[in-house]
Structure 1
Amino acid sequence: MSTGLVILIAVLALAIGLAGGFFLARSSMKNYLAKNPPISEEMMKSMMMSMGQKPSQKKLNQMMAQMKQQSANAQKK
């Protein structure tokens, strides 16, 4: 085999590995964030209390549902 062919194969393998790794990491991160949202109900409750609002459970549930809906819409795009 010529040296040029070996270098070409190595560069192609590197490019394919980088692209595959990127998309694999991206999909696994999306799945992780869908299952474990970065903001929990406790964090939302403390944030609302720091803004001077007294959060009810109904309001917390509505806000969490809105966040889930927005993340679902973002994944569809």
Structure 2
Amino acid sequence: DITRNTPCNVGNQACIGKDFAQCAQKDKWSIIPCSNNLVCVVLPLVQKRGISITCDTIDDQNSRIRNFLKAAEGC
């Protein structure tokens, strides 16, 4: 798991606990709490390979992953 003390490079993004984090300076995470009922999640991209790290609901994350896996079966 990534923590506040995990080394990072400028521009890196991660979930630290339930919060979104971005590496603002070498080895220094800037923690941005998610609002309301949102948590930091990792989502698959739809139009290209890769992931997106953002604040969202767990239900939406699960739905997007299910849809991604369903679409991948057809490839």
TM-score, normalising length: structure 1? 0.31
Higher strand share: 2
Higher helix share: 1
TM-score, normalising length: structure 2? 0.31
Larger Rg: 1
